Amino acid sequence: MPFLAVEGLSKRFAGVVALDGVSLHVDRGEWLAIAGENGAGKSTLMKILAGVETRDAGRIVLDGEPVALRSVREAKALGIAWIPQERSLCANLSIEDQLFLGRERTRRFGFVDRRGRRARAVEALARVGLDVPPTMTVGRLSTGNQQLLEIARALDEHARVLILDEPTSSLTPHESERLFAALARERERGVAVLYVSHRVAEIVERADRVVGLTDGKNSGELAERPFSESDVVRLMAGRAVSAATPTSRTFGPPRFSIDGLRTRRHPRELVSIEVRAGEIVGLAGLIGAGRTEILRAAFGADAATSGRISVDGTCVDVASPKAAVRAGIALVPEDRPADGVILDASVRTNIGLASLRDGARRGFVDRVAEKVRARAWIERLGIKTRSDRSLVRKLSGGNQQKVAFAKWLARSPRVLLLDEPTRGVDVGAKEEIHRCIEDAARAGAAVLVASSELGELLRLCDRIVVLQRGAIRGEFARAQFSEQRVLELATGAATAPGAHV
């Protein structure tokens, strides 16, 4: 008998079917991957198991007992822990305060048992291999270690089923390794892991079994190892996806150059990069290597301490994003909900936001052009939305990202800066976004793309610049691409242990 069994689970939201009779099971110590595109129902499934949403129909059996799962509290009490993709940590708290937040054990008169909780915190951290003092503030932990902290908390609450949503999407390879090592130990102890990810390679490497979801229904299962990447991708997309080979492009003259840029974060490192028209240059490096800082400074979003930015040989004073935009520079930022799109505005408004002045007369926006433009780009990028007036909030992550792209592509930018262009985006949308990056390059844009997913850069770029601690450590032309060598440079021999704590 399986440890956790889900039978015929259904859920609808406002008439839209999110889950339609989904069944799956997972055993103690088993690692089950759930594959599916955004909108396939993975999130709903996880939320129901975590008690965040309630199901309309279906049975959930845990350890032989049918369970109601009406609240988060109930799910936790049963030992089901969900680690969502968005961090829900308080950056100002200490690690141990965060660990026990909301479930403080008190002695008489409501006093906190300080010594007892310190010991327990150390034990919980050790369990996930997190070697940091419990008094450190959460904000100083790297994203990967924050992830481990959340898992530590779940395990301390006696989790028997761990549900992980895209756990590695913002981790460095090294951090991912640590996470998987910790998870492997828990697996030994009989914790069941439900794992949702777009990272096909990880699934292939780690999962014991894969269940596919498409449009809220079971779309198949890979019941036994070994399975290949294409097997998983087929399961995810519900169809075969061809790995597009990059078509060749011709490069024009140098279009965009960063010359002697110093960022606030790394004031002692000078960075110079040149990108030619039609060229796609990748920025590789670990988290904290300074990729985002360079892109933001080149766009005027953050002030640089020195340096010259030029477009087509003309020096541009990027005092603000407005000045950069005027010079034909565009940035699709890393943090989509905060900087990339306005979630509570319509798709049309978002796409038109950077082009308000196009066709405007005496300050009046050309509303017809705005509508036509929005609809054209929705069509062209295949943005899945009910209408151009729908709120961006209602779109899936991939489609939100396409909106952020469309906003800039509508201006035919001369320089396209991209920061993690496919983070949290499903396989299908990722392909489409890659294609639209290539199209922009083919149209003559100089593209500079930063990504923590090395595979993406290797597949997309004509050249890769490797950063470590704010400095350029090397550069590879397409013919010299090697994952191994990029990683070696990015991690650097000089990296002190614990530097990325």
Partner 1 sequence: MIKNLGILVLLIAVCALTAWQEPRFWSAYNVGNTLSWTGLHGLLALGTAVVILTGGIDLSVGSVAGLAGVMLPWTIVRLGWPPALALPAVLVGAVGIGVIHGLLITRLRLQPFLVTLCGLLVCRGLARYVTGDATIGFREADAPLRAIATATPFSVAVPGLDAPIAIPIAFLWLIAFALVLAIFLRRTIGGRSLFALGKNEAAARMSGVATSTWTVVAYAVSAGVAGFVGALLALDVNSVQPSTHAQWYELYAIAAAVLGGCSLRGGELSVIGVVLGAAILRVLYNAINILAIPTQLEFAVVGIVILVGAMIDEGLRRLTSR
Rounded CA-CA distance 340/332 in Å is: 6
Name, in order, each residue with C-beta under 8 angstroms of 97's C-beta and a sequence gap of 6 or more: none
Q: Which stretch binds partner 1 (CB under 8 A): 155-163, 276-284, 334-342, 428-436?
A: 334-342
Nearer of residues 380 and 411 to partner 1, judged by Cβ: 411
Our CB check for partner 1 shows the closer of 41 and 413 to be 413
Nearest CB to partner 1, comparing residues 113 and 339: 339
Task: Verify cis geometry, omega within 30 degrees of 0, for the bond prior to 226.
Answer: yes
- Subset of 403-432 contacting partner 1 (CB under 8 A): 407
| Beta bridge partner(s), residue 61 | 5, 66
Give the Cα separation of 5 and 58 in Å (integer): 11
Q: Nearest approach, Cβ of 321 to partner 1 (angstroms)? A: 5
CA 111 to each of CA 114, 399, 429: distance values in angstroms, whole numbers, following the listed order: 9, 49, 52
Using rule CB under 8 A, residue 17 touches partner 1: no
Residues in 150-189 at the binding interface with partner 1, rule: CB under 8 A: none
In whole angstroms, the minimum distance from the beta carbon of 344 to partner 1 comes to: 5
Please say which residue, 333 or 428, places its beta carbon nearer to partner 1: 333
- Annotate each residue in 246-285 with x if it binds partner 1 (CB under 8 A) or - if it does not, as one string: ----------------------------------------
Please pick, from the candidates 130, 210, 237, 301, the single residue that binds partner 1 as defined by CB under 8 A: 301
- Angle, alpha carbons 61-86-210 (nearest 5°): 45
Q: Do the beta carbons of residue 448 and residue 275 sit within 8 Å?
A: yes
33 Cβ neighbours under 8 A, 6+ residues apart: 195, 196, 197, 203, 206, 207, 209, 210, 211, 232
Asked if 238 is part of the footprint of partner 1 (rule: CB under 8 A), the reply reads no
> Counting contacts by CB under 8 A, is residue 368 touching partner 1?
no
In angstroms, what is the minimal distance from the CB of 335 to partner 1?
Answer: 8
Restricted to residues 348-367, the positions that interact with partner 1 (CB under 8 A) are 349, 352-354, 356-357, 360, 363-365, 367
333 scored as a contact of partner 1 (CB under 8 A) = yes
Q: Does 339 participate in binding partner 1 (rule CB under 8 A)?
A: yes
Residues 448-467 that bind partner 1 (CB under 8 A): none
Burial degree of 212 (CB within 10 A; 0-12, 13-18, 19+) = buried
**Nearest CB to partner 1, comparing residues 109 and 364:** 364
Quick one: 325 or 489, whose CB is closer to partner 1?
Answer: 325
The least CB distance from residue 405 to partner 1, in Å, is 13
CB nearer partner 1, residue 115 or residue 362: 362
Count of CA atoms in the C-beta half-sphere (13 A) of 459: 14
Q: How far apart are CA 104 and CA 137, in angstroms?
A: 18
* CA 61 from centroid of its chain's CA atoms: 32
Angle at 61 between CA 59 and CA 63, to 5 degrees: 175
Q: Counting beta carbons within 10 angstroms of the beta carbon of residue 459, is it exposed (0 to 12), middle (13 to 18) or buried (19 or more)? A: middle
For 78: left if phi > 0, alpha if psi spans -120 to 50, otherwise beta; the answer is alpha
Q: Which is nearer to partner 1, 76 or 402 (CB)?
A: 402
Residues lying near partner 1 in the complex (CB under 8 A)? 14, 299, 301, 320-322, 324-326, 331, 333, 338-345, 349, 352-354, 356-357, 360, 363-365, 367, 407
